[in-house]
Chains A and B, each alone.
Chain A
Amino acid sequence: MLLAVLFSNSEGNILIERFHGVPSEERLHWRSFLVKLGADNLKGAKNEELFVASHKSVYIVYTILGDVCIYVVGKDEYDELALAEVIFAITSAVKDVCSKPPTERIFLDKYGRICLCLDEIVWKGMLENTDKDRVKRLIRLKPPTDV
C-alpha cells in the first residue's frame, strides 16, 4: 500500500499531498516527520538522489528535484525498492511536464497537470502507470496504447 505521496518546497511548505489509508489525525505527524527528514538531509543533495528512511514497518523514500522535495511512504509490497520505482515514475513525469527539474515557480504553474500525472501514477494507494509516455497520453485523455 502506498500510504502517501507528498511534495514540498525547500522551505517545508507542502505543495501536494496524497494520502491513502492514513487516518486524518496522523497526517499532521507524517507531514512534520517528512518535512523534517527533508530539512535534515536534502540540503545540497543532487537532483533525484534517493534517500531512505523507515519507521516501524513503514518505508520512506524521498528525493529532491529542482526546488521540490518529493516523498513517498509505503508499506508491505511497497518497500524501499518499490518506492524507488514509484518516485522514479513521479520524477520523470514531473520533469516531463516541467521540461526540466522544476523551480518552484514552474512547478506551481504546472500544478494542475502535475496533479493529473500523479492521478495516473498512483491510483487508490497502488502504483499504476510508470511509463512517462503512457502517462502523457493518459493525461490528455488518450488511450494508454494509441490506436
Chain B
Amino acid sequence: MASGQDSAGTTLMDLITSDPSAVSAGNSSTAPPAPSSTLGKPTTTERKFKRASLMQIQNDTIAAAKALNPVKAIPQRQHRKPVSYAQLARSIHELAATSDQKVSQKQLLHHVFPKLAVYNSVDPSLAPSLLMLHQQCEDRNILRYVYYYLARILSDSDAHGLSPGGGIPTPNWDALADIDAVGGVTRADVVPRIVGQLTSEASNTDVEFHARRLAALKALTSASTSNSEVVTKLYEIVFDILEKVGETKQKRKKGIFGKQGGDKESIVRSNLQYAAISALRRLPLDPGNPAFLHRAIQGISFADPIGVRHGLAIISDIATRDPYSVAMALAGALLDVLHLHDVLARISLARLCHTLSRARSLDERPDIKSQYASILYQLLLDPSDRVCFEAILCILGKFDNSERTEERAAGWIRLTREILKLPEAPSVSSKDNTQSKDTLPPKPKSDKPGLKSKRPQPLFKLAMRRLESSFRSFSRPVLHAAARVVQEMGKSRAAAYALGVADIDEGSQLYTYSDNVESMDSDLNDGSQTEASRKALSLSNGPSGKDTIAGLLASLMEVVRTTVACECVYVRAMVIKALIWMQNPHESFEELKDIIACELSDPAWPSTLLNEILLTLHARFKATPDMAVTLLEIARIFATKAPGKIDADVLQLLWKTCLVGAGPDGKHTALEAVTIVLDLPPPQPGVSASDPKAALALQRLVQAAVWFLGENANYAASEYAWESATPPGTALMMLDADKMVAAASSRNPTLAGALTRLQRCAFSGSWEVRIVAAQALMTIAIRSGEPYRLQIYEFLHALAQGGVQSQFSELQLSNGEDQGASGTGLGSLISPMLKVLDEMYRAQDDLIRDMRNHDNNKQEWTDEELKQLYETHEKLLDLVSLFCFVPRAKYLPLGPTSAKLIDIYRNRHNISASAGLNDPAVATGIADLVYESNATRKDPDSIDPELAMAWAAGLDDGLLGSNAPAMDRVNEFLAGAGTDAPDVDDENITSRPSVTYNDMWAKELLESYEVEEDDARSSGTSSPESTGSVETSISSHFSGVNYPSLFSSRPSGYGISQQSLVYFSFELTKYIRSFGESKSTSRFGSASAFERQGSPVREEPPSYSASVMQRFESFENPLAGFGGQSFSQRDGEESTGNPQFGKALYDFTAGGDDELNLDAGEEVEIDYEVDGWYYVKKKRPGRDGKMAGLVPVLYVSS
C-alpha cells in the first residue's frame, strides 16, 4: 500500500504503479507495429487519405524511436517500476497503430491512458497517434480518453507544461522523446490538425454520430480563446447548430433531471442544444451581437437544465452591459424560469433580475423594472439557501465589489421597505419535492414562512427568518454563507446611515399583514436600540418576535452571536466580521468586545484570519468614521490578546486612520489605545524561543507603537511649537526638572503621558525599540514647544551620558541584553540629535541677545544682520527636516520671536515661505510623499484646519499612498480584491505537493548526472524558495521596523532600515559638523551625500564606534536587501569559474533560434543549466554556423 511507504520519496506515478496487483502486463514491445493494419473502418475517401498521411507519420516516428534508442525501448516487466512519460508515449504510438486489436485497446484503456493522466500536459508529439485513434478506433471508452487528451493538447498554454492540468510536470519533450529527432512535432504543427479534425467532426450532422459530435465540440472549446481562428470556427459551429436546433418546438417537459421522455429526434435536438450553448458559454461574450443574445434567450426554453443555466448566465452577463436590449429581447421569456431545477440557473436569474430592475436605461419602463424586481423578491422564497442568499445580496445592492455607497444604501432601504406581493404560487409544493436533490443541504420543512399564506410579506421579515433558520443549520458552508450575508447587510446598513438617507426608524412597525396580533403591542418608541431593550427583545426571541426592524434584527443578531460557538474558526471569523458590521455607533459594544476578547484567547486562530478582521475594522471605520473610538478599543483587544499574530502595519494604519477620525474629543483615547501596547509585557526568553515568530511580531508591534507615538503625539495632543505664540516659557525653565515635568503634565496630559512612555521605552526596551524610541522623542522635541522640548533635551542628554539608568533604575526591566558601556547603546544615535537641539538653543540665545542689544541701542536691524539671521533660520530648518517633517512655512527654529524679523527679510527679498524645494529632506526624497500629498490635497476652502494639521503631521491617508504595504493591503481589502494565494505561516506542514514530484522526477531523470551536480546549481536554480525564506527570515529578524515612516518610505526592499539609520546618523554627524565649522556657508552641500541614503550602506561609516559596528557588520550581509542579486551573481561566477565539459550523445536539431544543432559525439563546454536545458558552447561552429546555444540536458553527457 502506497500510503504505508515513505511517501516523501514517492511520485504520484510511484503511488499508482506500486501495487503489484495492479497488473501492468508489460507493454507490448513485442506487438508488431503492424503498419498494414487496415481493419479500421474509414467511411470516406477523404478520411482514408488523412489516415494514410497520419500512418506515415506514425510509422516514421516509431521507426525513429526504435532506431535511435539503443536501450530496449519498453521494459517487459513493470511491476514495481514507475512508468515514465516516455514509455507511455511510446506505448501510445505503438498501440495506436494496432488499435483494431482487442489487446491493444485493453492496454490503452486500462494501462496507458489512465497513467498518462498523471502528467500535467500532453506533448504534441502524441497528437498524430491520438488523431489516428480518433479516426480509427471505435471503442467509446478509448475515444473518450482521446478527446480528453486532444483537449489538453489544445489547452496547453505554454511549452513547459504549465497547463491547468496539474499532476506531475511533463518532462521536457525534446529532451525526452526520441521521437523528435526526425524533425520534431511542435504544437504549432499539430494544433491546426487537431482543430481541423475536431471541427469537421463537430459539424457532422449524422444523428448516429452526435455523441462524438458533442465531445468534439467540447474538446474544441479548450483551445485558447486568444486563438481567433479557432474562436471564429467555434462561433460558426455553435451558431450553425443553434440555428438548426435552437427553436424549441415543444414546451419543455417538467421531469426529473435528464430523464424526460420524448422521441429520438427531440432528444438528439436537446443534446445538441446543450452542447452548443455550453460551448457558447465558454466563448468570449459578444454583447453587441444580436444573434448572440437571441441564441442565449432561446437557451432559456431548452429542455436540458444545464443548457438553460448557461443560457441564463450568458444573458445575465450581457445584461450588465446592455440591459435595455436584454429586457426588450426577453419580454415574457422568464415566465417559467422560476421553477427551474438548476440552482446555478436560479442564481443567474437573480443576478439578471437585479441588473434589469436597477438599470438606468430602463427608467422609462417602470413596468419592466418592477416585473423583474418582483421575480427577484420571489427568489427569497427559494428552497435553495444559495439562491435565497443571492437574492438577498442583490436586494442589498451587493452585486460585485464595485458598488457605490449610494447603491448599498438604497439596497438597505429596499430590503427594509419593500413588500413581496406573492403571486398565486401554483407549483410551489411540487417544486419543492423535485428540488430536494438540487439543494444542499436539505432545507428544514418549517422554513417556508411565506408559502402558506398568500399575503404580502415584508422582504425584511422573510430575509430575517430565512437567515435565522440558516444559522440553526449544522452545515459549516451554510453558517459561513449566512454570516457573510449578515455582514453584507451590515455594510448596506452602514452605507444608509452614512448617507443620512436613513431616516430609518428601525423601531417602527414593518408594513405587514402579519397574523401576529400580539406583535402590535411592541414598543413603538424603542427606536434607538438600547442595551436594555435589546436584552428584553432577546428574551422574546422567536418566530413571533416583535415585528419592528430593530426587533427582527435583535433576534437575528442573537442567533448570530450564538454561532460564535461554532468550532470552525472561519465561520467564527465571519460571524465576528458580521457583528462588527452590524454594530452601530450609538449602541453599546460591550458584548462585541467580550466576544472578541474571548475569541482571541483561543490559540487556534491563524494570523491571516485575525488580520482580515483587523482589515474589517478598517473598512468599518471607512464606512462610519464616528466609530473610531469603538474600533480602537477593539483593535486594542487584538494588540493585547494576540500581539504575536497581527500585522503591525495594518494595526498601525488603523490607529492612524482612527486617530484622525476620532475628532478632538477622542484623540486622547485614541492615543491611549496605542500606548497600551507599550505596557505589554516583553516576551519571556522561554516564550520567544518556543515561538520566535510571535515574539518577533510583538517586538515589531511595540516598535510600531513607539514610532506611532513619536509621529503622532503632537497631533493627538494638539501641541505644536509653531502654534504657540508665547516665547519659551522662561518661567517654567527656571524650575528644576521635577517641577518642570509636573507643570508640563498639568498643561497637556496627553503629550506628557506619551513622553513618559517613550522615555521608558528609550532605556528599557530591546535595542530595536530603544532606537525607535529615541527617534520618536526627537520628533516630539522638534515639534513641541517648551517645556517639552527642554524636558526631552535633558532626558536625551542624560541618556547619552548613561546616567539615566541610575535615575530610573527602579523602572528598569532587564531583558537580558547587555546594554553597552553607555547604558543604552544609543550614544552614537543621540549625539547628532543633541547637537541639533544644542544648535537651536544656542541660536535662540543668540537671537535673544541680539534683540536685546538692538532694543537697548534702539538700532534697526540692518539687512546684513537680517540676512544672517535668515540663513541661520534656514539652516536650522534644514537640520530639523532631516529628523522629521515640519511645515517649513510655519516652523520657527529660532522661536516665536524670530517670526517678525524673518518676515521682514522675506518681504524685502520676495522670498516665498513655502519654497520647500531646497529642503534636503525633499532633495533626498524623504519628504516627497508629504509634499506630494499636501500638494494634491490642498483645497483650502473645504479643509478642516484640524485635518490639515493632521496631514501636516503625516497623518493623512494619502500620505502613505501606494508606497505603504499596509495601505495596499487595506485598499485591496476594501476593494474586495484578493484571489492571491494565502501564505501558510506554519513551517511544519506535511504537504508534499506535486512540486516534490517535480524534484523527484528531475532526480529520476537526471540520475546519471547527479554526481557532478554542484550545490551552487541546485541552490541557484532549483530552490529559489529556500534561499528566499532564509533571506526573509534573517532580514525580518534584523530589519526591525518595516512600518510606514518617513524614513523607511524608500522603495529599497527590506532589511535595511537600521543600516540606513546608522548611515543616516553618521551622515548627520558630518552634516552638523560641517554646519558648526563653517557657519558662514549659506547652503549645505551635502545633499548629494544624502542621496545615497536610499541604498544600504556600502562603505563602513568610519566614525562609528567599534562595538556598534560589529553589530552592523552582521547586518551587512548579502542576504539583506541585496540577497537575490548577489546570489545570482555568485551563481554566475561559480558556474563560469568551473567550466564543465560534455559530449553530445545523440544528434539534435535545433527547434528555435536559441537552440543549437548537435552531432552525436561532438564535444561541448557546458555553461549553465536551465529548466532541463544546457547552454553549451562548441569548440568550432557547427553546420548552422552557431557556436553556442541551448540543448536538452539528456542529449549531453556531462
Query: Which residues of A are at the interface with B, using a C-beta cutoff of 8 A?
Result: 3, 6, 9-22, 24, 26-33, 35-36, 39, 41, 50-59, 61, 67, 75-77, 79-85, 88, 104-105, 108-113, 115-116, 119, 123-124, 126-129, 131, 133-134, 139-147
Other-chain residue from B12, B475, B983, B990 in contact with A29 (beta carbon distance below 8 A): B983
Other-chain residue from B257, B274, B478, B573 in contact with A131 (beta carbon distance below 8 A): B257
Other-chain residue from A104, A127, A131 in contact with B344 (beta carbon distance below 8 A): A127
A147 to B384 Cα, complex, angstroms: 31
Please name all residues of chain A whose beta carbon is closer than 8 Å to the beta carbon of B800 when the two chains form the complex: none
SS of A interface (majority): mixed
Apart from A50-B476, A57-B978, what are 13 other A-B pairs with CB-CB below 8 Å?
A13-B12, A15-B12, A17-B167, A28-B981, A35-B990, A77-B347, A84-B477, A108-B2, A112-B117, A112-B145, A131-B258, A141-B211, A143-B267
A85 to B979 Cα, complex, angstroms: 21
Please name all residues of chain A whose beta carbon is closer than 8 Å to the beta carbon of B2 when the two chains form the complex: 104-105, 108
CB distance from B1066 to the nearest CB of A (A): 39
The stretch from B15-23, B187-195, B752-760, B1048-1056 touching chain A is B15-23
Q: Are B982 and A33 in contact (CB under 8 A)?
A: yes
Question: Is the CB of B143 closer than 8 A to any CB of chain A?
Answer: yes
List 6 tightest A-B contacts by C-beta distance, closest first.
Answer: A112-B114, A56-B978, A29-B981, A17-B166, A35-B991, A80-B477
Q: Are B143 and A141 in contact (CB under 8 A)?
A: yes
The size class of the interface chain B forms with chain A is: 35 or more
Question: Is the CB of B1116 closer than 8 A to any CB of chain A?
Answer: no
Question: Is the CB of B913 closer than 8 A to any CB of chain A?
Answer: no
CB distance from B230 to the nearest CB of A (A): 14
Question: Is the CB of B1 closer than 8 A to any CB of chain A?
Answer: yes
CB distance from B615 to the nearest CB of A (A): 9
Q: Are B7 and A13 in contact (CB under 8 A)?
A: yes
A82 to B771 Cα, complex, angstroms: 52
Question: Is the CB of B668 closer than 8 A to any CB of chain A?
Answer: no
Question: Is the CB of B1177 closer than 8 A to any CB of chain A?
Answer: no
CB distance from B267 to the nearest CB of A (A): 5
CB distance from A132 to the nearest CB of B (A): 11
A76 to B573 Cα, complex, angstroms: 19
A126 to B309 Cα, complex, angstroms: 11
Other-chain residue from B16, B19, B162, B574 in contact with A54 (beta carbon distance below 8 A): B574
CB distance from A39 to the nearest CB of B (A): 5
Q: Are A13 and B477 in contact (CB under 8 A)?
A: no
Please name all residues of chain B whose beta carbon is closer than 8 Å to the beta carbon of A14 when the two chains form the complex: 12, 166, 992-994
Please name all residues of chain A whose beta carbon is closer than 8 Å to the beta carbon of B976 when the two chains form the complex: 57
Q: Binary interface profile of B, 954-993, with partner A (CB < 8 Å = 1, else 0)?
A: 0000000000000000001100111111111010011111
A129 to B278 Cα, complex, angstroms: 11
CB distance from B618 to the nearest CB of A (A): 14
Please name all residues of chain B whose beta carbon is closer than 8 Å to the beta carbon of A9 when the two chains form the complex: 3, 7, 15
Contacts A12-B990, A50-B476, A105-B2 given: A112-B115 contact, CB under 8 Å? yes
Please name all residues of chain A whose beta carbon is closer than 8 Å to the beta carbon of B140 when the two chains form the complex: 140-142
Question: Is the CB of B270 closer than 8 A to any CB of chain A?
Answer: yes
Q: Are B148 and A52 in contact (CB under 8 A)?
A: no
Query: Which residues of B are at the interface with A, using a C-beta cutoff of 8 A?
Result: 1-3, 7, 10, 12, 15-16, 19, 22, 113-115, 117-118, 140-141, 143-145, 147-148, 151, 162, 164-167, 210-212, 214-215, 218, 221-222, 257-258, 260, 264, 267-268, 270-271, 274, 278, 281-282, 304, 306, 343-344, 347-348, 351, 384-386, 389-390, 400-401, 440-441, 475-481, 484, 568, 570-571, 573-574, 608, 612, 972-973, 976-984, 986, 989-995, 1025
Q: Are A18 and B164 in contact (CB under 8 A)?
A: yes
Please name all residues of chain A whose beta carbon is closer than 8 Å to the beta carbon of B274 when the two chains form the complex: 144
A146 to B973 Cα, complex, angstroms: 48
Please name all residues of chain A whose beta carbon is closer than 8 Å to the beta carbon of B143 when the two chains form the complex: 141
B439 — nearest CB in chain A belongs to which residue?
A85
Please name all residues of chain A whose beta carbon is closer than 8 Å to the beta carbon of B162 when the two chains form the complex: 24
Please name all residues of chain B whose beta carbon is closer than 8 Å to the beta carbon of A146 when the two chains form the complex: 267
A11 to B306 Cα, complex, angstroms: 36
Please name all residues of chain A whose beta carbon is closer than 8 Å to the beta carbon of B347 when the two chains form the complex: 77, 82
Other-chain residue from B117, B385, B571, B981 in contact with A22 (beta carbon distance below 8 A): B981
A80 to B16 Cα, complex, angstroms: 32
A124 to B217 Cα, complex, angstroms: 14
Q: Are A56 and B113 in contact (CB under 8 A)?
A: no
Other-chain residue from B114, B264, B270 in contact with A111 (beta carbon distance below 8 A): B114
CB distance from A50 to the nearest CB of B (A): 5
Please name all residues of chain B whose beta carbon is closer than 8 Å to the beta carbon of A29 when the two chains form the complex: 980-984
CB distance from B135 to the nearest CB of A (A): 15
B393 — nearest CB in chain A belongs to which residue?
A79
A6 to B166 Cα, complex, angstroms: 9
Q: Are B144 and A139 in contact (CB under 8 A)?
A: yes
B441 — nearest CB in chain A belongs to which residue?
A84
Please name all residues of chain B whose beta carbon is closer than 8 Å to the beta carbon of A50 when the two chains form the complex: 475-477
B996 — nearest CB in chain A belongs to which residue?
A13
CB distance from A102 to the nearest CB of B (A): 12
CB distance from B682 to the nearest CB of A (A): 30
Q: Could you list some 10 contacts between A and B, CB below 8 A?
A: A22-B164, A28-B995, A28-B1025, A35-B993, A57-B976, A79-B389, A84-B441, A85-B386, A119-B148, A145-B270
A32, A35, A59, A109, most chain B CB atoms within 10 A: A32
A21 to B164 Cα, complex, angstroms: 8
A75 — nearest CB in chain B belongs to which residue?
B979
Q: Are B981 and A56 in contact (CB under 8 A)?
A: no
CB distance from B497 to the nearest CB of A (A): 24
Q: Are B480 and A80 in contact (CB under 8 A)?
A: yes
Please name all residues of chain B whose beta carbon is closer than 8 Å to the beta carbon of A88 when the two chains form the complex: 440
Other-chain residue from A17, A52, A67 in contact with B477 (beta carbon distance below 8 A): A52
Other-chain residue from B441, B477, B983 in contact with A83 (beta carbon distance below 8 A): B477
Q: Are B980 and A13 in contact (CB under 8 A)?
A: no
Please name all residues of chain A whose beta carbon is closer than 8 Å to the beta carbon of B981 when the two chains form the complex: 22, 26-30, 33, 55
Please name all residues of chain B whose beta carbon is closer than 8 Å to the beta carbon of A19 when the two chains form the complex: 164, 166
Contacts A16-B166, A104-B2, A105-B1 given: A141-B476 contact, CB under 8 Å? no
Please name all residues of chain B whose beta carbon is closer than 8 Å to the beta carbon of A67 when the two chains form the complex: 3
Q: Are A77 and B344 in contact (CB under 8 A)?
A: yes
Q: Are A145 and B141 in contact (CB under 8 A)?
A: no
A49 — nearest CB in chain B belongs to which residue?
B476
CB distance from A147 to the nearest CB of B (A): 5
Contacts A81-B481, A128-B306, A147-B264 given: A140-B440 contact, CB under 8 Å? no
Please name all residues of chain A whose beta carbon is closer than 8 Å to the beta carbon of B979 when the two chains form the complex: 3, 21-22, 56-58, 75
A59 to B978 Cα, complex, angstroms: 11
Please name all residues of chain A whose beta carbon is closer than 8 Å to the beta carbon of B221 when the two chains form the complex: 123-124
Please name all residues of chain A whose beta carbon is closer than 8 Å to the beta carbon of B258 when the two chains form the complex: 131, 133-134, 144-145
CB distance from B353 to the nearest CB of A (A): 15
CB distance from A128 to the nearest CB of B (A): 7
Please name all residues of chain A whose beta carbon is closer than 8 Å to the beta carbon of B282 when the two chains form the complex: 123-124, 126
Q: Are A56 and B16 in contact (CB under 8 A)?
A: no
Other-chain residue from A35, A77, A143 in contact with B211 (beta carbon distance below 8 A): A143
CB distance from B322 to the nearest CB of A (A): 20
Please name all residues of chain A whose beta carbon is closer than 8 Å to the beta carbon of B389 when the two chains form the complex: 79, 81
Q: Are A54 and B304 in contact (CB under 8 A)?
A: no
Q: Are B481 and A116 in contact (CB under 8 A)?
A: no
Please name all residues of chain B whose beta carbon is closer than 8 Å to the beta carbon of A21 when the two chains form the complex: 979
A67 to B15 Cα, complex, angstroms: 14
A127 — nearest CB in chain B belongs to which residue?
B344
A115 to B608 Cα, complex, angstroms: 33
Please name all residues of chain B whose beta carbon is closer than 8 Å to the beta carbon of A133 when the two chains form the complex: 258
Please name all residues of chain B whose beta carbon is closer than 8 Å to the beta carbon of A131 when the two chains form the complex: 257-258
Q: Are B993 and A143 in contact (CB under 8 A)?
A: no
A110 to B114 Cα, complex, angstroms: 8
Please name all residues of chain B whose beta carbon is closer than 8 Å to the beta carbon of A33 when the two chains form the complex: 981-984
Contacts A57-B401, A108-B16, A116-B148 given: A52-B278 contact, CB under 8 Å? no
A23 to B167 Cα, complex, angstroms: 16
A61 to B268 Cα, complex, angstroms: 36
Please name all residues of chain A whose beta carbon is closer than 8 Å to the beta carbon of B568 when the two chains form the complex: 41, 51-52
A20 to B450 Cα, complex, angstroms: 40
A3, A17, A26, A80, most chain B CB atoms within 10 A: A80
